[in-house]
Amino acid sequence: STVISVFEKDSIKIDEDLLANSARSLETLVTVGMQLAQMVWTKAKMRL
């Protein structure tokens, strides 16, 4: 089974290591609760 999360454009900055592995077509083994990404302030400010 799979879960996919889709975020609005430019709303998140995904952690570099996850992006780097994915760019090598390499899946990363993670567990629930590990940090994934941070909010992008510019987009959030506009929203708030």
Binding of other proteins at residue 42 (CB under 8 A)?
no
**Residue 45, interface with other proteins (CB under 8 A)?**
no
Q: Which residue has the tokens 């889709």?
A: 6
Site for other proteins in 1-30 (CB under 8 A): 1-9, 11-12, 14-15, 17-19, 21-30
Half-sphere exposure of 3 (CA within 13 A, CB side): 2
3-16 per-residue burial string, b: 16 or more CB within 10 A, e: under 16: eeeeeeeeebeeee
Binding site for other proteins (CB under 8 A): 1-9, 11-12, 14-15, 17-19, 21-39, 43-44, 47-48
